[in-house]
Amino acid sequence: MESNTARGGTRWKRFAVVMVPSVAATAAIGVALAQGALAASFSLSGQQFKVSTDKLVGQGFLQYGAVDALHNGQQVPVAVSAFKSAQITNLCQSVVVPVPMFGDFSMKLTAGGSGTPVQAQNLYIDLDQLNADAQFNNINIGVAAGDSTKGPGMKGGNEKADPGSFAQEADSATLTGVKQTAWATSAGTFKLSGLQMKVSKGDNECF
């Protein structure tokens, strides 16, 4: 770990932290998002999806542990990362869906290229694996999840989390070369530029 006290920042290479958003892989919602900001709360019930991005710059960061209840009754432990706002460059989300008698089909969504990043507000990501290069500014480690003043607060809803549990927060965070698997994501608004969605046969995921 490298620390830069002059800038009040901490840089952790390949740090496993959840910080990349995704959007639901449906054409109707995708078109609405491409046309502008849309209030949204999405999840993929009982199925993981993959997300990659070249760069994510987020302001007002909070991360804490939780347990998500899936549609099939299963409970999965996740790390929840929350941002008051985020800008995401070259976002890619993919999920493989098995279709009886036809095999696997992939749904892939891309956005935020051509110099105009994806914009998100009050963003929450529930994931269990992430690889990235990460830099945090003014990070606090070991705060109580419910006492954070930097992030947007705990999500609630279908997650089970203890407000007194271990958490970390930062004024801002920058991640590059991100690859993650997630169970759900939600946001107050997403605004996607250059949105493209493709359905293809086989395993054609982001990574």
**pLDDT tens column, 158-205:** 677 888 888 999 999 999 999 999 988 888 999 999 999 999 999 999
pLDDT at 2 over 90: no
Neighbours of 207 (CB within 10 A): 12
Q: Which of 171, 61, 29 is nearest to 125 (CA)?
A: 61
Mean pLDDT check: name the lowest of 53-57, 66-70, 125-129: 66-70
Q: Per the structure block, which two tokens stand in for 128?
A: 């269990």
Would you call 73 helix, strand, or coil by DSSP?
A: coil
**pLDDT tens column, 57-104:** 999 999 998 888 777 777 888 889 999 999 999 999 999 988 889 899
Q: Which of 167, 6, 18 is nearest to 86 (CA)?
A: 18
Q: Which of 34, 71, 55, 9 is nearest to 196 (CA)?
A: 34
Q: Is-contact 22 48, C-beta < 8 A? A: no
Q: What is the pLDDT of residue 117?
A: 97
pLDDT at 26 over 50: no
Neighbours of 54 (CB within 10 A): 16
Share of the chain above pLDDT 70, in %: 77
Q: Of 46 and 141, which is predicted with more confidence?
A: 141
Q: What is the pLDDT of residue 11?
A: 66
Segment 129-147 shows an average pLDDT of 93
Segment 18-42 shows an average pLDDT of 42
Share of the chain above pLDDT 90, in %: 52
Q: What is the pLDDT of residue 54?
A: 97
Domain regions of the chain by residue span: 2-201
